[in-house]
Amino acid sequence: MAVKLVALDIDGTIIPPNTPPELAYPTPRLTHAVRALNERGIAVVLASGRMFPGTAEIARHFGLSTPVICQQGCSVHLPDGTMTHQFAIERAIALDICAHARTLDRPYEWFNPVRYIVSRETDASREYGRVSGIVPEYRTDPENSGATPTGVGIISSHAEANAIHRQLVAAHGDAVHVLDFPEVTVAVAPEANKGHALSLLCDDLGIDRHQVVAIGDSVNDASMLAWAGRGVAMAHSDRYARDAANEVLHADSELADVLEAIARAR
């Protein structure tokens, strides 16, 4: 089938890992490739861990008018910010995870598509606020902020994250979807993942999964790489993305080659 939609992760995919903040935009060649897809009638959808403002900023850079997937698949938004899909974590579970963070004496985050509330300021919370295009809110009791959460996270360290992951899975099992990042262990609703969000978005647009190419680099991209007709993992990808993808690039620079080839085929 001809490709009708390309789903792209942002951080680690169209923006290389460890890119300095002042350079954190797609390269001119990649920008041209994405715009060429758009001009040829191929939808380009950004699927990011960022909140809506930070995701929308990159969409505007490309000149896209398609919906965007935010917060690992917790929400899908139209370009004006209107939510078409949202998945909230069960409040009782979120409260239990906050209590666990306090037991560990670790800061924790409570978030939804428009608010990011953290129990105390950390480097990780500042960085997430920066890429997400929002100002984090800091208070000792985020769970009492009035925000209905799509997820919660425990901020720790790379060394501690695996143990916290196991503890959350042992306590809540399939009632949550747990994701590990270098310094944060995040719990969201079981159905809140990029693959599910992409499937709903494609249903809305009338696009079959076999007409979709998805490209990403990490565990939070694995579900969409597995769902798409063609899943492509970046060369530096973690094992979860590699296992889920149909193919792995030999070099990250090949991403532009892939997009240009899709545009030419159209």
Write out the residue limits of the CATH 3.40.50.1000 domain(s) in the chain.
Answer: 5-86+192-265
Which of 9, 45, 53, 54 minimizes the C-alpha distance to 199?
45
As a whole number of angstroms, the distance between CA 167 and CA 145 comes to 25
- pLDDT band at residue 251, thresholds of 50, 70 and 90? very high
SS3 186: strand
pLDDT score of 237: 95
Kindly indicate whether the domain formed by 5-86+192-265 is annotated with CATH number 3.40.50.1000: yes
Q: What is the pLDDT of residue 139?
A: 97
Q: Mean pLDDT across the stretch 33-43?
A: 96
Q: What is the pLDDT of residues 66-96, one digit of tens each?
A: 999 999 999 999 999 999 999 999 999 999 9
In the chain, residues under CATH classification 3.30.1240.10 are 91-188
Question: Average of pLDDT values for 49-54?
Answer: 92
Which helix (H) or strand (E) element contains residue 180?
strand 177-180
Q: What pLDDT is attached to residue 19?
A: 83
Under 8 Å between Cβ of 38 and 259: no
pLDDT score of 1 more than 80 = no
Judged against a pLDDT cut of 90, whether residue 181 lies above it is answered with no
Residue 113 has what pLDDT? 86
101 contacts 107 by C-beta, under 8 angstroms: yes
For residues 73 and 34, the answer to whether their CB atoms sit within 8 Å is no
pLDDT-derived band of residue 114, with 50, 70 and 90 as boundaries? Answer: confident
The band of 144, judged by pLDDT with boundaries at 50, 70 and 90, is very high
Give the pLDDT confidence of 193-235 residue by residue, as tens digits: 999 999 999 999 999 999 999 999 998 999 999 999 999 999 9
pLDDT of residue 182: 80
Q: For the chain, how many residues are written?
A: 266
Average pLDDT of the segment spanning 258-264? 96
Half-sphere exposure of 29 (CA within 13 A, CB side): 8
- On average, the pLDDT of the chain sits at 94
The whole-model pTM stands at: 0.92
Which class would CATH give 91-188? alpha beta
Does 43 have pLDDT greater than 90?
A: yes
- 17 Cβ neighbours under 8 A, 6+ residues apart: 11, 217, 236
Residue 173 has pLDDT above 80, yes or no: yes
